Amino acid sequence: MLSAIANWQAKNADSNMEEAGLFVKTITVDGGMMLKRLRPAPQGRAHRIRKRSNHVTIVIGDNNNTQSN
């Protein structure tokens, strides 16, 4: 979330964050890379360990959009 706010501030350097009325539009979590490791097991065997990761995408919006009725 802090990264999304920092990116918004970088693109809108002249705007004030409090007046923009930022809110979270969407949050998406997708599967990422998987590290595969082997763990020793009894009698000379090995068990596979899958270290999973994910990608989190946060899209923020502002309330200053002008809408005509």
- String of b and e for 25-46 (b: at least 16 CB within 10 Å)? eeeeeeeeeeeeeeeeeeeeee
In tens digits, the chain (69 residues) has pLDDT values of: 788 888 888 888 887 777 778 888 899 999 999 999 999 999 999 999 999 999 999 888 877 654 444
pLDDT of residue 50: 96
Domains of the chain: 1-62 (3.90.470.10)
